Structure 1
């Protein structure tokens, strides 16, 4: 369409026409400027709206996802841990955690003041620093109670948000601390079962059932605490294991800790140390169980073979004496029941170093044990196995093993010679492993009788339990300070089992540096402290574990389970 033209007569240039033309040009310029301003305003509005969406929705959602991944690993809750009877040992609770988008907090100072008033445990300077950081995501507080969450919501502070979180809770506090371990603030396992099964607990949602029995665990810890207090000891440890299956029924190491309050433990590192699995010790005379079993198994001699123990053994410039001097020859049975170091050393020398080393390797004394927790200590032993090592190892010196390894090997000796690997997981009867043979059934039977004699009339008398046939062996070892042993500073132990005709459970009690008290007549050996603690544990645990009392009412003199001090005439060597 052609542009319309205005006809102006030639020569017509009046003042009125000039004014009209000027006004039209002015209107055109104004229209152009107005269009530019409108476009600028629209563009600015789009930018502002986009920024608000980015800050309020997109960034908040993005940081929310980040926090969620950091604390929950998606939407899976950490699974429960239960004991063999289904009692709850560890569980997770839904909580809310507080965070801020510092970019949209209008008044950081006012916000910090209000938050610290509701949450006085927070550090105001730290909170203010985080709110002024300009970051899109900063943690302020974790695992708030619903009441605290409600109070913070009522404050109405812009830029303050809540993230769904999860907190690990241990209903029994210290009771299972060294077995269960603990998690960090983001619910990642850091020790014990929590660490070993971290991925499984996060991924499957199915509870893990342990072999532990809460009732037995309570008994073991109670008696250990009482014993430590009574004998003024530095600590202690205990273990109860089913010798038929290898299932650990109770495990305690003292001092212990509350996994619910790990962040408040400070420098109390000793409480985190598991003496049963991580510690390795010279176990003293408890190792005479293994030395005697090997001697009988080797066929070198019998329980009636005699050794002269009237004079100390010499190892270079050192002498090996007995705690109680015996001035006449005694049988192997008496070497064991009287706990003779001299007799044990002579038995080991008669067998030889090669046989001893092979047996120790067979029962796992040269390798780190296996168990469903990461805190496991490797045994300590000399690379060069000399005659001196052979003698000292016979009575529990010169080689350090964990209490777990001792219990496992002794369990094999008394379980008809079959050693089961220890486990912290409940086993179905149909899935019990076959185990490995370490001694014959004949040797196992003799060792059960010898251990029974130690409790019936030897150094373990204070471990006797009325109605039950208990057998065991005491162990007292001097502790090392620097490069020498400190006299009077002992690690005492009592390893025992019941019922001895067909052992079901083995019990270990350890007492760390007990003191002599009035009731012990100046003695601090195992028979005076570890043995009575073990007896009290068994008297309370046996009924809980449904072990029936024995009908045997014989005295030691007419008990057929006792081995005579000397051989019948037709069995003399």
Structure 2
């Protein structure tokens, strides 16, 4: 008997064989169905007998018709099973052709360049080489490890030997090889060891904007800063929609609001200040009061994003956004603004600061006690705790708290950078003592950038504009802005700011011709549960030019020591002169031209 090749039976996975003479018989009978009439076949005829066509009235036998029907049903079932399987496979396949990338494809992912507001390159991808092994084809693991260690002596031999002693097909050996290491390893010609071209993130300015840019890990994933924002935001959205192929990118650079020139000045001044005042840390930020754009943000100590040295340590903390502090007397700006705006006080109001205030068992005094009845301006320029408490009590706790909330000081700031800290303050009803101490900056912690945004609203006409690290014009900023103080109150605050630099605690921040205004803050830090006069966090908030404010700035220095020739280390002696040094250098960069009719006293 002769057999034809088997037909696949997809319903049970086995192959069934059909005899060739059966097929011939079926074909002959099927030809009868295609004739001009109906084929008639007698039951007593053998299967291989000729088929006679007797014309229009002839029919197939019942047995032949049954066999053809069964054959057709069988074919239909086979195709039905195939169709169901194809649909099942289609449903199991990720949409848009997405599939899990191989290790080789994962390292091919690219990131967009990051540039400052003027197009200066701040982060980019550069070619690099990685070396890997295919353990399943390694001839001699010990020999391979020894030869690899000759070129890369820092390799952990025991760990590498353990990872390579298996039957896997892919194991990383090293990433970011130097050209010299790559050439030496290629010269070794180790069987089972291969090379892959990958992208390595490079930050041309090194530490300059580390806390804003952040860094990426060895797999090119954002760890901190804008790098992480890109992964969680724009890049993730584009990839999810199928518009971005990270292995073959075609995207424009990501522009930031930062100005590299301003950033360089701010960091340079802070680095020098840490040395001059032997301080633990410092941070500063510059903001456009009309658009909310952050032109500079520096936090020291910092880290090198190229090597990731310092990440995971204290240097990784962005003190401007990720740290909350009691910032002291700079908070008086908002208490006095609230008092003026609510109508509880006026610029001509008098405030009794002749004696300390006693609340329960606590006594509150002034650092430089005037022991006098002070005007609103004198409360501001002499930084009187007693006078500020009188203002807070005049408007009442609910009003005081409501204004702090309107100025964004009681809620977590929404920002592009990850790790933004939430302010801390009494969540329940504020007691008289809590309201009193908070009025001059104790008992409430907030981030320096939050305080800077509230300062901007105090001097820019009373409009709160949320800070951003992305470019934004004034029209775009106003869409999300809201009025928190009246224009009149904002004008009065500008007057107070300027008076404090002219003849108050901020005199050392004065810059001839630039009409600078600001407020000092010297806050005692809590040590072992009590406020310590030997451990201070000093700050200075400022704006310029005060006749038409364009920029606001905050400078914070942690535990400064007296400079040479000085006996004290208050904010007026360190944070204020740091502010002056920055403004003197960045004003020409920002196009702020001195006015010949404005001189600082």
Counterparts of residues 110-509 of structure 1 (less than 5 Å): 110-198=143-231, 200-201=234-235, 203=239, 204=244, 205-262=251-308, 264-265=309-310, 269-383=313-427, 384-434=429-479, 435-509=481-555
CA distance in 1, matches of 2:600, 2:329: 26
Return the TM-score normalized by structure 1.
0.82
On the 8 A contact 1:85/1:213 being kept in 2, the answer is: yes
Q: Deviations over 1:93-144 (max 9, x none)?
A: 1222111111211122222222111122222333333332332211111122
Counterparts of residues 552-571 of structure 1 (less than 5 Å): 552-553=597-598
Which residue of 2 is the match for residue 68 of structure 1? 104
Q: Deviations over 1:386-441 (max 9, x none)?
A: 11122111111111111111000110010011111100001245533342111111
CA distance in 2, matches of 1:321, 1:119: 65
The alpha-carbon deviation at position 201 of structure 1 amounts to 4.3
SS of residue in 2 equivalent to 1:516: coil
Which residue of 2 is the match for residue 513 of structure 1? 559
Which residues of structure 2 form unaligned runs of 5+? 1-99, 245-250
On the 8 A contact 2:514/2:598 being kept in 1, the answer is: no
Which residue of 2 is the match for residue 537 of structure 1? 582
CA distance in 1, matches of 2:162, 2:369: 73
On the 8 A contact 2:328/2:522 being kept in 1, the answer is: yes
CA distance in 1, matches of 2:478, 2:148: 58
SS of residue in 2 equivalent to 1:361: helix
On the 8 A contact 2:261/2:589 being kept in 1, the answer is: yes
Q: Deviations over 1:143-163 (max 9, x none)?
A: 223332222222121111112
On the 8 A contact 1:201/1:207 being kept in 2, the answer is: no
CA distance in 2, matches of 1:439, 1:130: 64
CA distance in 1, matches of 2:125, 2:435: 52
CA distance in 2, matches of 1:418, 1:330: 29
CA distance in 2, matches of 1:300, 1:366: 22
Which deviates more from structure 2 when the two are superposed, residues 197-206 or residues 183-192?
A: 197-206
CA distance in 1, matches of 2:295, 2:448: 15
Which residue of 2 is the match for residue 26 of structure 1? none
SS of residue in 2 equivalent to 1:238: strand
Residues 309 and 429 of structure 1: CA distance in aligned 2, closer, same or farther (over 3 Å)? closer
Q: What value does the CA root-mean-square deviation take over the aligned residues?
A: 1.7
Which residue of 1 is the match for residue 142 of structure 2? 109
CA distance in 2, matches of 1:340, 1:390: 16
Which residues of structure 1 form unaligned runs of 5+? 1-63, 557-573
Return the TM-score normalized by structure 2.
0.79
On the 8 A contact 2:262/2:589 being kept in 1, the answer is: yes
SS of residue in 2 equivalent to 1:487: strand
CA distance in 2, matches of 1:102, 1:66: 16
SS of residue in 2 equivalent to 1:187: coil
Q: Deviations over 1:211-241 (max 9, x none)?
A: 0000100100000111111111101000000
Which residue of 2 is the match for residue 526 of structure 1? 571
CA distance in 2, matches of 1:134, 1:374: 40
The alpha-carbon deviation at position 359 of structure 1 amounts to 0.8
Instruction: Give aligned pairs, total.
Output: 487
Q: Deviations over 1:529-551 (max 9, x none)?
A: 10000100000010011111122
Which deviates more from structure 2 when the two are superposed, residues 199-208 or residues 178-187?
A: 199-208
